Amino acid sequence: MDRQQIYVVSGGSGETALRMVQAALTQFSKGEGSALVRRFQNVRSREDLDRVLQAAMDKQAVIIHTTVSREMREYLDERCSALLLTQVDLFGNLLDTLAHLLRERPEERPGSFHALGDKYFRRMEAIEFALKFDDGIDMAGLADADIVLVGISRTSKTPLSMYLAMEGYKVINVPLVPGVPLPPEILTVPQGRVVGLTIQADRLQEIRAYRLKRLGATGSADSYSDLGRILDELAYSDEVYRHHRRWPVLDVTGRSIEEIAGLVLDRVFGKERAV
């Protein structure tokens, strides 16, 4: 039996609608293999629509669209009814409802939804990236990283990575451990995108002691919050940062994640931020 054909139609790139259809198809046993999906971009006139509908008739394709123009949506609805084609409007009902609630007519600009969708998917991709490459698990993502964070344990590397990921930045964080050399791959990325994190010793001792208490750890684990060990680790990180002079270094003591993130972005990108 031939697979069902789905025509994704948009006045813009159709990228967001395509991803929504692909996400929906994953809920079926064959996934994206359940149907054949074809995308039609920049469909902005009746003539453009008629060409798509003619092709759809030949294949009995389902029309799934994000047409923002009311006139075009109404025309598409009429034509699909006349041609006995199934059509799904991903955008129209939402636009009409919001127009009623906001008492404002939508601008009906093709492509604006795609821009919003791009931002959303970029954030989701960045979050997945941060989780995959957290705490130096895998250095394979370095070539794709926007920012690399380096620091000893409990200098806010992971929460900072997740916060920056929510802003759409791909972040890898790498732990500094005395006696363990840095991965050589770190030298392959632009060094201005590697940020060193440091913290005052007494504050780090408080953080680590609280962490151990939360975990219920005792005995040998107490050395984790030992001030002498902490001072040794900080001295090691200072030595690493002196060796890599191009890395910006930030003291995270007493600063919120939001403030640290802003400082990281300022140091790495200045005013030319990617998101």
Domain definitions of the chain by residue range = 4-110, 123-269
What residues does 39 pair with on adjacent strands?
8
Per-residue pLDDT reduced to its tens digit, 73-88:
899 999 999 999 999 9
Same fold, 4-110 and 123-269: yes
CA gap 275, 270 in Å, rounded = 12
Per-residue pLDDT reduced to its tens digit, 141-194:
888 999 999 999 999 999 999 999 999 999 999 999 999 999 999 999 999 999
Residue 150 sits at φ, ψ, to 5 deg, of -130, 135
Per-residue pLDDT reduced to its tens digit, 19-39:
889 888 988 888 778 899 999
Residues 6 or more apart whose Cβ sits within 8 Å of residue 42:
10, 11, 12, 13, 48, 110
Four-way CATH pick for 4-110: 3.50.4, 3.40.1130, 3.30.1360, 3.40.50? 3.40.50
Query: Does pTM top 0.85 for this prediction?
Result: no
Q: Under CATH, which number does the domain 123-269 receive?
A: 3.40.50
**What is residue 33's predicted lDDT score, i.e. its pLDDT?**
81
Compute the chain's Rg from CA coordinates. 26
What residues does 251 pair with on adjacent strands?
198
